[in-house]
Structure 1
Amino acid sequence: MRTILFDLDGTLADTAPDLHHALHCLQRERGLTPLPFEQVRDQVSHGTSALVTLGFPEAAGAVFDGLRERFIEIYMAHIHRESRLFPGMDEVLEAIESRGMNWGVVTNKPAFLTDPLLRAMGLYDRAATVISGDTTAECKPHPMPMLLACEQSGSSPGQCLYIGDALRDIQAGRAAGMRTLVARYGYIDAAQSPETWGADGFIQHPGEIMDWLPAQAGL
């Protein structure tokens, strides 16, 4: 194993507070009572459209498009208001780097949101690869972005471990030939069954990633 790849929202970083804030502001602008954080958190990994649908279930067509555009506008203005690495993740990244390995991000979040967030968090230049939802012609669960991440990080799929909190993450990693872990601390709602996704393992908090790291690169 030489490369550890992460999904972004709900795996590497806890971005739910800022995405909830954007939806909160949008609902208040439209005269609605904002949804509580607990109701929004587990939907974050499904993207902006899912969040707008959650907050405005009857919106469709041009109305929905306008709401989504405004949601993104609010989110971009506050993209690093509260978002941060999950507790223990900074130590994991340092351990990866200290062992001569590298790490990267493969997310379905579009690059115009991914890149400024990672830069604001001081992570962009540390990552060996950053693949966003619009970097390749296909996004997860297709393996195309995973394979590009391998190429950019200098590792074969068999030398990579991918960690995510959604079914599409595990599907993409497996299709690319990587080992996969489910981040159970991520944005997984009660209706999902991660044990059926076919992952190689599960972690309850970022520190457990340490158990999967070799003593040094290539071992």
Structure 2
Amino acid sequence: MYRAKFKAVLFDLDGTLLDTAPDFTTATNKLLLQNNLTEIEEEKIRQLISDGSAGIVSSIFNIKSNHPLYEKTRQDLLDYYSQYLTDKTAPFDGIIELLQGLDKINVPWGIVTNKPEIYTKAILKEFDYILSPKIVVCPDHVKHTKPDPEPILLACKELGVKPKNTVYIGDHIRDIQAGSSAGASTIAAAYGYTEENEDISKWNANFIARQSRDLLKLILG
């Protein structure tokens, strides 16, 4: 029997609820081939996704934000990504069971992501048979994105819960910083898109989920 440890649960999207790395890898390799460059392994992309398209363009294509080709390259990458948005993307192990458990005990859950609304909405539409968040907060909805607490506070306000009764789960230090600053409990998703050899314990999250299925015990007991 599940029991409610929190009055609301908020998730980051990429690297926490969904494994989007395969489709980011496809998009990146399409653009690399277009520019006569060598394809890369998915594992490399997994370490960059938390920084979005900007991180991929900067690290993989070695084009910094002040470079004249930066915006074009970034848009080309996003154009490819939009074509393969949900081809291989899938929930992490145990996530469907977790969300169904929350629904059974009437604990509202939502998504707070730095992913632009246009891509977030498209993904959620494809997964509407398993993903039915009560609130979705994207950069489009706030003045300040994570690590600022504003997105978390907005989600809590919309759900009618206090941050202290809420938990936020994410796979980047900015997620933990945002949740902590908002006054929520936090869980670091170590199974997500963390950099190699990163010491997640230094994020000072309340809990660490080494595997995605660990969330079942941490959230539902």
Alignment of 1:37-186 (within 5 A): 37-58=42-63, 60-122=66-128, 126-186=132-192
TM-score calculated relative to the size of structure 2: 0.93
Partners of 1:170 and 1:199 within 8 A in 2 = yes
**Aligned residue number for residue 29 of structure 1:** 34
Query: Does the 8 A contact of 2:102 with 2:220 survive in 1?
Result: no
Q: C-alpha deviations, 1:84-133, integer Å up to 9, x for none?
A: 11011000000111111011000001111111111111169710110012
Q: Percent identity of the aligned residues? A: 32
Runs of 4+ in 1 over 3 A off after TM superposition: none
CA separation in 2, counterparts of 1:152 and 1:85? 25
Tell me how far apart the structure 2 counterparts of residues 194 and 150 of structure 1 sit (CA, whole Å).
Answer: 25
CA positional deviation for 1:161: 0.5
Whole-Å Cα distance in 1 between the matches of residues 49 and 96 of structure 2? 22
By how many angstroms is 1:58 displaced?
Answer: 4.0
Deviates more, 1:147-156 or 1:170-179: 147-156
Give the stretch that moved more between structures: 58-67 or 42-51.
Answer: 58-67
TM-score by structure 1 length? 0.93
Q: What is the number of residues matched between the two proteins?
A: 215
Q: Which residues of structure 1 form unaligned runs of 5+?
A: none
Q: Deviations over 1:153-177 (max 9, x none)?
A: 2211011100000000000000000
Q: Distance in 1 between matches of 2:95 and 2:200?
A: 21
Work out the CA distance in 2 between the residues paired with 1:123 and 1:3. 21
State the superposition RMSD in angstroms.
1.5
CA distance in 1, matches of 2:33, 2:80: 12
